[in-house]
Amino acid sequence: MTPTTPRTVAVIGTGTIGASWAAYYLSRGFRVAAADPAEGAEDRLRAHVEAFWPTLAALGAEGEGGSAPQDRLAFAPSIAEAARGADFVQENGPERLVLKRAILAEIEEGADAAALIASSSSGLLVSEAQEGMRHPERLVLGHPFNPPHLIPLVEVLGGARTAPENVDHALAFYTDVGKKPIRINREVPGHVANRLQDALWREMFHLVRSGVASVADIDTAIAYGPGLRWALLGPFLTMHAGGGDGGITHFLEHLGPAMREWAADLGEYPETDDYIETMAEGVAAELEGRDWEAVLAERDRLLLGLLAAKAQAPHIP
Protein backbone atom coordinates (compact mmCIF):
# COMPACT_ATOMS: atom_id res chain seq x y z
CA MET A 1 0.00 0.00 0.00
CA THR A 2 1.50 3.31 -1.07
CA PRO A 3 -1.17 5.94 -0.43
CA THR A 4 -1.12 9.26 -2.33
CA THR A 5 -2.20 10.98 0.88
CA PRO A 6 -0.36 8.95 3.51
CA ARG A 7 -2.52 7.28 6.09
CA THR A 8 -1.26 6.91 9.64
CA VAL A 9 0.15 3.89 11.43
CA ALA A 10 0.69 4.15 15.18
CA VAL A 11 3.82 2.39 16.45
CA ILE A 12 3.64 1.80 20.19
CA GLY A 13 6.97 0.92 21.74
CA THR A 14 10.05 2.01 19.80
CA GLY A 15 12.76 -0.38 20.90
CA THR A 16 14.53 -2.68 18.45
CA ILE A 17 11.33 -4.05 16.90
CA GLY A 18 9.25 -0.88 17.08
CA ALA A 19 11.94 1.31 15.51
CA SER A 20 12.35 -1.16 12.67
CA TRP A 21 8.57 -1.22 12.10
CA ALA A 22 8.42 2.59 12.15
CA ALA A 23 11.12 2.84 9.51
CA TYR A 24 9.41 0.25 7.36
CA TYR A 25 6.01 1.98 7.48
CA LEU A 26 7.64 5.30 6.59
CA SER A 27 9.30 3.59 3.64
CA ARG A 28 5.88 2.50 2.41
CA GLY A 29 4.54 6.03 2.35
CA PHE A 30 2.69 6.15 5.67
CA ARG A 31 2.68 8.76 8.34
CA VAL A 32 3.88 7.22 11.62
CA ALA A 33 2.78 8.32 15.07
CA ALA A 34 5.05 6.77 17.69
CA ALA A 35 5.04 6.56 21.48
CA ASP A 36 7.43 5.13 24.04
CA PRO A 37 7.77 6.23 27.68
CA ALA A 38 11.51 5.54 27.89
CA GLU A 39 13.75 8.57 28.35
CA GLY A 40 15.43 9.58 25.10
CA ALA A 41 13.17 7.30 23.05
CA GLU A 42 12.41 9.87 20.36
CA ASP A 43 16.07 10.65 19.65
CA ARG A 44 16.93 6.95 19.49
CA LEU A 45 13.97 6.25 17.20
CA ARG A 46 14.91 8.99 14.74
CA ALA A 47 18.53 7.83 14.73
CA HIS A 48 17.47 4.23 14.06
CA VAL A 49 15.17 5.29 11.23
CA GLU A 50 18.00 7.24 9.61
CA ALA A 51 20.36 4.29 10.03
CA PHE A 52 17.86 1.86 8.47
CA TRP A 53 17.08 4.13 5.54
CA PRO A 54 19.89 3.09 3.13
CA THR A 55 18.66 -0.50 3.34
CA LEU A 56 15.06 0.60 2.83
CA ALA A 57 16.09 2.82 -0.08
CA ALA A 58 17.62 -0.26 -1.71
CA LEU A 59 14.25 -1.97 -1.27
CA GLY A 60 12.47 0.87 -3.06
CA ALA A 61 11.52 3.14 -0.16
CA GLU A 62 9.33 6.15 -0.83
CA GLY A 63 11.21 9.26 0.17
CA GLU A 64 13.02 12.36 -0.90
CA GLY A 65 16.70 11.96 -1.66
CA GLY A 66 18.75 9.67 0.51
CA SER A 67 17.34 10.70 3.88
CA ALA A 68 14.42 9.31 5.84
CA PRO A 69 11.21 11.41 5.71
CA GLN A 70 11.42 12.52 9.34
CA ASP A 71 8.59 15.01 8.70
CA ARG A 72 6.19 12.06 8.42
CA LEU A 73 7.31 10.72 11.81
CA ALA A 74 5.62 12.23 14.88
CA PHE A 75 6.50 11.31 18.44
CA ALA A 76 3.44 11.59 20.68
CA PRO A 77 3.49 12.42 24.40
CA SER A 78 1.35 9.38 25.27
CA ILE A 79 0.25 6.04 23.88
CA ALA A 80 -3.35 7.22 23.60
CA GLU A 81 -2.30 10.30 21.65
CA ALA A 82 -0.23 8.25 19.21
CA ALA A 83 -3.17 5.89 18.60
CA ARG A 84 -5.65 8.72 18.07
CA GLY A 85 -6.63 8.90 14.40
CA ALA A 86 -4.43 5.97 13.36
CA ASP A 87 -5.80 3.54 10.79
CA PHE A 88 -3.60 0.70 12.08
CA VAL A 89 -1.75 0.25 15.38
CA GLN A 90 1.42 -1.84 15.69
CA GLU A 91 2.04 -2.61 19.38
CA ASN A 92 5.58 -3.61 20.42
CA GLY A 93 5.57 -3.64 24.21
CA PRO A 94 7.54 -6.00 26.50
CA GLU A 95 6.63 -9.69 26.67
CA ARG A 96 4.84 -9.37 30.01
CA LEU A 97 1.10 -10.02 30.01
CA VAL A 98 0.16 -7.49 32.70
CA LEU A 99 2.12 -4.76 30.94
CA LYS A 100 0.74 -5.78 27.54
CA ARG A 101 -2.83 -5.42 28.81
CA ALA A 102 -2.03 -2.01 30.28
CA ILE A 103 -0.59 -0.85 26.95
CA LEU A 104 -3.65 -2.12 25.09
CA ALA A 105 -5.90 -0.23 27.49
CA GLU A 106 -4.01 2.99 26.74
CA ILE A 107 -4.23 2.32 23.01
CA GLU A 108 -7.99 1.93 23.32
CA GLU A 109 -8.25 5.28 25.08
CA GLY A 110 -7.18 7.00 21.86
CA ALA A 111 -7.79 4.61 18.96
CA ASP A 112 -10.95 4.69 16.88
CA ALA A 113 -13.14 1.66 17.50
CA ALA A 114 -12.61 0.53 13.89
CA ALA A 115 -8.81 0.68 14.00
CA LEU A 116 -7.02 -2.66 13.90
CA ILE A 117 -4.49 -3.32 16.66
CA ALA A 118 -1.69 -5.76 15.84
CA SER A 119 0.64 -7.05 18.55
CA SER A 120 4.24 -7.91 17.70
CA SER A 121 4.33 -10.35 20.62
CA SER A 122 6.83 -13.18 20.13
CA GLY A 123 4.92 -15.73 22.16
CA LEU A 124 2.05 -14.38 24.27
CA LEU A 125 -1.43 -15.62 23.43
CA VAL A 126 -3.77 -13.06 21.88
CA SER A 127 -6.72 -14.51 23.83
CA GLU A 128 -5.00 -13.75 27.12
CA ALA A 129 -4.03 -10.24 26.05
CA GLN A 130 -7.65 -9.52 25.02
CA GLU A 131 -8.98 -9.78 28.56
CA GLY A 132 -10.25 -6.40 29.72
CA MET A 133 -10.33 -4.81 26.26
CA ARG A 134 -13.37 -2.77 25.25
CA HIS A 135 -13.04 -3.91 21.65
CA PRO A 136 -11.21 -7.25 21.74
CA GLU A 137 -12.57 -8.10 18.32
CA ARG A 138 -10.00 -5.84 16.65
CA LEU A 139 -6.86 -7.29 18.30
CA VAL A 140 -4.74 -9.58 16.13
CA LEU A 141 -1.24 -10.97 16.23
CA GLY A 142 1.15 -9.25 13.81
CA HIS A 143 4.42 -10.90 14.82
CA PRO A 144 7.37 -9.94 12.58
CA PHE A 145 10.74 -11.54 12.25
CA ASN A 146 13.65 -9.36 13.28
CA PRO A 147 14.44 -6.92 11.78
CA PRO A 148 10.94 -6.10 10.46
CA HIS A 149 12.24 -3.48 8.02
CA LEU A 150 14.18 -6.20 6.20
CA ILE A 151 12.63 -9.63 6.86
CA PRO A 152 9.26 -10.10 5.09
CA LEU A 153 7.60 -12.67 7.38
CA VAL A 154 4.68 -11.63 9.60
CA GLU A 155 2.67 -14.20 11.59
CA VAL A 156 -1.03 -13.35 11.85
CA LEU A 157 -3.78 -14.90 13.95
CA GLY A 158 -6.77 -13.92 16.04
CA GLY A 159 -7.62 -14.69 19.64
CA ALA A 160 -10.81 -16.19 21.01
CA ARG A 161 -12.64 -12.86 20.71
CA THR A 162 -11.11 -11.55 17.47
CA ALA A 163 -13.57 -11.01 14.62
CA PRO A 164 -12.53 -13.39 11.78
CA GLU A 165 -12.81 -10.60 9.22
CA ASN A 166 -10.18 -8.62 11.14
CA VAL A 167 -7.69 -11.46 10.67
CA ASP A 168 -8.45 -11.25 6.96
CA HIS A 169 -8.02 -7.46 7.04
CA ALA A 170 -4.65 -7.79 8.79
CA LEU A 171 -3.43 -10.37 6.27
CA ALA A 172 -4.50 -8.08 3.42
CA PHE A 173 -2.87 -5.05 5.05
CA TYR A 174 0.50 -6.75 5.53
CA THR A 175 0.38 -8.14 1.98
CA ASP A 176 -0.39 -4.67 0.61
CA VAL A 177 2.58 -3.13 2.40
CA GLY A 178 4.96 -5.71 0.93
CA LYS A 179 5.17 -8.26 3.74
CA LYS A 180 4.84 -12.06 3.47
CA PRO A 181 2.17 -12.84 6.08
CA ILE A 182 1.11 -16.33 7.11
CA ARG A 183 -2.18 -17.28 8.76
CA ILE A 184 -1.87 -19.27 11.98
CA ASN A 185 -5.05 -21.26 12.57
CA ARG A 186 -4.70 -22.03 16.27
CA GLU A 187 -2.99 -20.32 19.19
CA VAL A 188 0.13 -21.99 20.58
CA PRO A 189 2.89 -20.45 22.71
CA GLY A 190 5.63 -19.11 20.46
CA HIS A 191 3.41 -19.17 17.35
CA VAL A 192 4.97 -21.04 14.37
CA ALA A 193 8.36 -19.69 13.27
CA ASN A 194 9.77 -19.39 16.79
CA ARG A 195 8.67 -22.94 17.58
CA LEU A 196 10.43 -24.18 14.45
CA GLN A 197 13.55 -22.27 15.49
CA ASP A 198 13.30 -23.61 19.00
CA ALA A 199 13.34 -27.20 17.76
CA LEU A 200 16.64 -26.47 15.99
CA TRP A 201 18.02 -24.54 18.96
CA ARG A 202 17.33 -27.45 21.29
CA GLU A 203 19.28 -29.88 19.13
CA MET A 204 22.19 -27.53 18.38
CA PHE A 205 22.72 -26.90 22.10
CA HIS A 206 22.64 -30.66 22.68
CA LEU A 207 25.16 -31.34 19.90
CA VAL A 208 27.61 -28.78 21.28
CA ARG A 209 27.24 -29.86 24.91
CA SER A 210 27.68 -33.52 24.03
CA GLY A 211 30.82 -32.82 21.99
CA VAL A 212 29.41 -33.86 18.62
CA ALA A 213 30.33 -30.59 16.88
CA SER A 214 31.54 -27.08 17.61
CA VAL A 215 29.46 -23.90 17.55
CA ALA A 216 31.23 -22.80 14.34
CA ASP A 217 30.71 -26.11 12.59
CA ILE A 218 27.00 -26.16 13.43
CA ASP A 219 26.66 -22.64 12.02
CA THR A 220 28.44 -23.84 8.88
CA ALA A 221 26.25 -26.95 8.67
CA ILE A 222 23.10 -24.84 8.52
CA ALA A 223 24.40 -21.78 6.63
CA TYR A 224 26.02 -23.83 3.85
CA GLY A 225 23.63 -26.80 3.87
CA PRO A 226 19.90 -26.94 4.57
CA GLY A 227 19.70 -23.22 5.35
CA LEU A 228 20.50 -22.37 1.73
CA ARG A 229 17.73 -24.64 0.46
CA TRP A 230 15.23 -23.57 3.13
CA ALA A 231 15.78 -19.90 2.22
CA LEU A 232 14.56 -20.64 -1.30
CA LEU A 233 11.83 -23.25 -0.92
CA GLY A 234 11.18 -23.88 2.76
CA PRO A 235 11.44 -27.34 4.38
CA PHE A 236 8.40 -29.04 2.82
CA LEU A 237 9.18 -28.14 -0.79
CA THR A 238 12.84 -29.00 -0.13
CA MET A 239 11.65 -32.46 0.93
CA HIS A 240 9.50 -32.64 -2.19
CA ALA A 241 12.50 -31.78 -4.38
CA GLY A 242 14.58 -34.39 -2.54
CA GLY A 243 12.11 -37.10 -3.48
CA GLY A 244 12.83 -36.80 -7.19
CA ASP A 245 10.02 -37.95 -9.46
CA GLY A 246 8.19 -39.40 -6.46
CA GLY A 247 8.23 -36.10 -4.58
CA ILE A 248 7.59 -35.85 -0.86
CA THR A 249 5.75 -39.18 -0.82
CA HIS A 250 8.84 -41.03 -2.00
CA PHE A 251 11.09 -38.97 0.27
CA LEU A 252 9.09 -39.85 3.40
CA GLU A 253 8.57 -43.48 2.42
CA HIS A 254 12.31 -43.81 1.79
CA LEU A 255 13.69 -41.86 4.78
CA GLY A 256 10.76 -41.90 7.19
CA PRO A 257 11.93 -44.93 9.22
CA ALA A 258 15.44 -43.47 9.61
CA MET A 259 14.04 -40.04 10.48
CA ARG A 260 11.96 -41.60 13.27
CA GLU A 261 15.12 -43.22 14.65
CA TRP A 262 17.00 -39.89 14.51
CA ALA A 263 14.09 -38.15 16.25
CA ALA A 264 14.16 -40.66 19.09
CA ASP A 265 17.83 -39.80 19.67
CA LEU A 266 17.41 -35.99 19.70
CA GLY A 267 18.57 -34.15 22.82
CA GLU A 268 16.50 -32.28 25.37
CA TYR A 269 16.59 -28.56 26.06
CA PRO A 270 19.14 -27.64 28.77
CA GLU A 271 17.39 -27.59 32.13
CA THR A 272 19.68 -24.95 33.67
CA ASP A 273 21.63 -21.94 32.42
CA ASP A 274 25.03 -23.60 32.70
CA TYR A 275 25.11 -24.14 28.92
CA ILE A 276 25.15 -20.40 28.16
CA GLU A 277 28.86 -19.88 28.87
CA THR A 278 29.80 -22.77 26.56
CA MET A 279 27.73 -21.32 23.70
CA ALA A 280 29.12 -17.82 24.27
CA GLU A 281 32.69 -19.13 24.20
CA GLY A 282 31.93 -20.94 20.95
CA VAL A 283 30.53 -17.79 19.35
CA ALA A 284 33.56 -15.78 20.49
CA ALA A 285 35.86 -18.37 18.94
CA GLU A 286 33.90 -18.33 15.69
CA LEU A 287 34.10 -14.52 15.48
CA GLU A 288 37.77 -14.20 16.48
CA GLY A 289 39.49 -11.78 14.12
CA ARG A 290 36.22 -10.64 12.53
CA ASP A 291 34.47 -7.27 12.80
CA TRP A 292 30.94 -8.06 14.04
CA GLU A 293 29.46 -4.85 12.61
CA ALA A 294 30.99 -5.71 9.25
CA VAL A 295 29.52 -9.21 9.49
CA LEU A 296 26.05 -7.75 10.07
CA ALA A 297 26.47 -5.25 7.24
CA GLU A 298 27.44 -8.04 4.85
CA ARG A 299 24.50 -10.12 6.09
CA ASP A 300 22.11 -7.29 5.24
CA ARG A 301 23.72 -6.77 1.82
CA LEU A 302 23.38 -10.45 0.97
CA LEU A 303 19.80 -10.53 2.29
CA LEU A 304 18.93 -7.62 0.01
CA GLY A 305 20.40 -9.52 -2.91
CA LEU A 306 18.49 -12.68 -2.01
CA LEU A 307 15.21 -10.81 -1.60
CA ALA A 308 15.73 -9.05 -4.94
CA ALA A 309 16.52 -12.36 -6.64
CA LYS A 310 13.44 -14.05 -5.17
CA ALA A 311 11.27 -11.14 -6.29
CA GLN A 312 12.41 -11.85 -9.87
CA ALA A 313 11.67 -15.58 -9.59
CA PRO A 314 7.93 -15.95 -10.30
CA HIS A 315 7.89 -19.73 -9.87
CA ILE A 316 9.27 -19.63 -6.31
CA PRO A 317 6.35 -19.63 -3.82
Q: What percent of the chain has pLDDT over 70?
A: 97
95-109 as b/e, with b when 16 or more CB fall inside 10 Å? eeeeebbebbebbbe
Q: For residue 119, is pLDDT > 70?
A: yes
| Mean pLDDT for the stretch of residues 226-255 | 97
Q: How confident is the model at residue 289 (pLDDT cuts 50, 70, 90)?
A: very high
Model pLDDT for residues 134-186, shown as the tens digit of each residue: 999 999 999 999 999 999 999 999 999 999 999 999 999 999 999 999 999 99
Domains of the chain: 8-183 (3.40.50.720), 193-311 (1.10.1040.10)
Q: For residue 256, is pLDDT > 80?
A: yes
In whole angstroms, give the CA distance from residue 259 to residue 247. Answer: 17
Model pLDDT for residues 84-115, shown as the tens digit of each residue: 999 999 999 999 999 999 999 999 999 998 89
Q: For residue 3, is pLDDT > 80?
A: no
Look at residue 60 in the predicted model and tell me its pLDDT: 86
| Mean pLDDT for the stretch of residues 192-200 | 96
| Mean pLDDT for the stretch of residues 215-234 | 97
Q: How confident is the model at residue 193 (pLDDT cuts 50, 70, 90)?
A: very high
| Mean pLDDT for the stretch of residues 10-28 | 97
Q: For residue 10, is pLDDT > 90?
A: yes
Look at residue 6 in the predicted model and tell me its pLDDT: 52
Q: For residue 4, is pLDDT > 60?
A: no
Q: For residue 67, is pLDDT > 50?
A: yes
Q: Measure Cα distances from 125 to 32, 96, 130, 156, 162 in Å.
A: 26, 11, 9, 12, 12
Q: Over the chain, what is the mean pLDDT?
A: 94
Q: For residue 2, is pLDDT > 80?
A: no
Q: How confident is the model at residue 65 (pLDDT cuts 50, 70, 90)?
A: low
In whole angstroms, give the CA distance from residue 73 to residue 89. Answer: 14
Lowest-pLDDT range, 44-53, 59-68, 81-90? Answer: 59-68
Q: For residue 66, is pLDDT > 90?
A: no
